[in-house]
Amino acid sequence: MVYHALGIMSGSSLDGLDLVFAHFHEQGGQWSYVIEAATCYKYTDQWENRLRNATQLDARAYCQLHVDYGHYLGNEVNRFIEEHQLEYKVSLIGSHGHTVFHSPETGLTTQIGEGAALAAATQLPVVTDLRTMDLALGGQGAPLVPMGEQHLFPGYSLFLNLGGIANITRAADLYVAFDCCPANRVLNLLASKLGKPFDLEGQLAASGQINTALLAKLNQHPYYQKPFPKSLANEMGTDEHFPLLLESGLSIPDCLATYTQHIVDQISLSAQSLISTDASAATKCLVTGGGAFNTHLIKCLEVAFRKSGIILEVPAADLVNYKEALIMAFLAVLRWRQENTVIPSVTGARRASIGGALWNGQDA
């Protein structure tokens, strides 16, 4: 069976809207995929500000943003379809939405981008709200990508995503995945203090000096002592670590050097915790997300991982950039097929579940 699905992803780093159109082929329980088209539409300053400040809105304004962003997503999908000549080729859309609140300890997670507005704008079936069923069953609602990793990327023992938040997955009989630490979101905020959208290839961080006292303070955050399954809200990076870095009085390059090392420390500790029971299986780690283009960060991770016998592999740019959007499309396919979309050993939920709300934008 072949499915033609489009995936949409907006990450916590706010670097833009990722869209992927792919074919998914299932035969005898085995899946394969082909990416036909992919792009990232950068947010305008207005949209970036609206999303960045969403947590400060009153209830009515927040609900209005939810609707407005759904229409925005629909318009961007239509733009993508037109630019890539995909008219009548897309059968299904999977939209992650943009996470505003994530508080699994209270059973709350919100991803804005109203599915009805998106479906109405595109006149296509749309799957949204992929996390909430898992939270209702006591899970973290995150990470979502391990289900896609399990089916689409055989041959790897670990998966590392370097996005606004870094998360890691162990591929084994018992899948485990969790958020390691804030990552690109904090690095980008630091770079913005020098008028740059991000630290190109980590050059600024490479020029700075690591402050060991600040590094130790960052590494002592209570989140890192929690056992998995666990997941992070954006606020840990933006409201706790970023102010701490600025208050240190260090130069921005020194802050970047220190926080890059913090990311390396937490990811390497996370990886070690996952391979300690079966180190022989953990040999290849697929690295994706925008941080995979941070040459300095990757080099530091390679040094740290080498001590544990882990080999990092950075794939082709399309997969680095669009893996999460690809998996949103795949989760929509699973939802359409009425199959489980999350792995309970990853999220900590009581059982597996079929997550996602289905909005039928087609004219009957």
pLDDT in tens, 192-205: 999 999 999 999 99
> Among 339, 332, 326, which Cα is nearest to 358's?
332
pLDDT (0 to 100) of residue 173: 80
CA 129 to chain centre: 15
**Residue 59, domain extent:** 2-143+323-360
The three-state secondary structure class of 71 is: helix
Question: 193 and 113 in one domain?
Answer: no
Q: How far apart are CA 243 and CA 192, in angstroms?
A: 14
Q: What distances in angstroms separate CA 70 from CA 3, 90, 167, 301, one per listed residue? A: 24, 18, 27, 37
Lowest mean pLDDT among 32-36, 112-116, 139-143, 292-296: 139-143
Q: How far apart are CA 77 and CA 193, in angstroms?
A: 32
Question: 281 and 332 in one domain?
Answer: no
- Residues 6 or more apart whose Cβ sits within 8 Å of residue 208: 251, 252, 253, 254, 255, 256, 257, 258
- 326 or 234: which leads in pLDDT: 326
Burial of 109 from C-beta contacts in 10 A (0-12 / 13-18 / 19+): buried
Helix (H) or strand (E) holding 250: none
Does the structure show a pLDDT above 50 at 53? yes
DSSP 56: G
Largest Cα span, the chain = 63
Question: 258 and 162 in one domain?
Answer: yes
Band of pLDDT at residue 233, cut at 50, 70 and 90: confident
Question: 159 and 111 in one domain?
Answer: no
- 238 or 276: which leads in pLDDT: 238
Question: 308 and 333 in one domain?
Answer: no
Tell me the H-state helices in 30-105: 45-52, 59-83
User: In this structure, are residues 194 and 187 in contact, taking their beta carbons and an 8 Å threshold?
Assistant: no
Question: 121 and 76 in one domain?
Answer: yes
Question: 232 and 192 in one domain?
Answer: yes
Task: Output the six-digit token pair for 223.
Answer: 């989140």
User: Which value, in Å, is the radius of gyration of the alpha carbons in the chain?
Assistant: 20
Q: How far apart are CA 215 and CA 123, in angstroms?
A: 50
Question: 187 and 163 in one domain?
Answer: yes
Question: 63 and 163 in one domain?
Answer: no
Band of pLDDT at residue 113, cut at 50, 70 and 90: very high
Band of pLDDT at residue 142, cut at 50, 70 and 90: confident
User: In this structure, are residues 296 and 205 in contact, taking their beta carbons and an 8 Å threshold?
Assistant: yes
Question: 278 and 303 in one domain?
Answer: yes
Average pLDDT, the chain: 94
Which tens digit of pLDDT belongs to each residue from 8-29?
A: 999 777 889 999 999 999 999 9
Question: 169 and 115 in one domain?
Answer: no
Report how many domains make up the chain. 2
- 361 or 334: which leads in pLDDT: 334
**How confident is the model over 215-229, as a mean pLDDT?**
95
pLDDT (0 to 100) of residue 13: 75
Question: 303 and 171 in one domain?
Answer: yes
Band of pLDDT at residue 364, cut at 50, 70 and 90: low
Q: What percent of the chain has pLDDT over 70?
A: 98
- Residues 6 or more apart whose Cβ sits within 8 Å of residue 288: 159, 160, 161, 162, 314, 315, 319, 320, 321, 323, 324
pLDDT (0 to 100) of residue 108: 95
Q: How far apart are CA 332 and CA 119, in angstroms?
A: 13
User: In this structure, are residues 171 and 149 in contact, taking their beta carbons and an 8 Å threshold?
Assistant: yes
Q: Which CATH number characterizes residue 290's domain?
A: 3.30.420.40
Which tens digit of pLDDT belongs to each residue from 155-199?
A: 899 999 999 999 999 988 888 999 999 999 999 999 999 999 999
Task: Output the six-digit token pair for 61.
Answer: 């304004």
Task: Output the six-digit token pair for 95.
Answer: 């939209």
pLDDT (0 to 100) of residue 280: 52
DSSP β-bridge partners for residue 61: none
Burial of 157 from C-beta contacts in 10 A (0-12 / 13-18 / 19+): buried
pLDDT (0 to 100) of residue 282: 47
**How confident is the model over 256-275, as a mean pLDDT?**
95
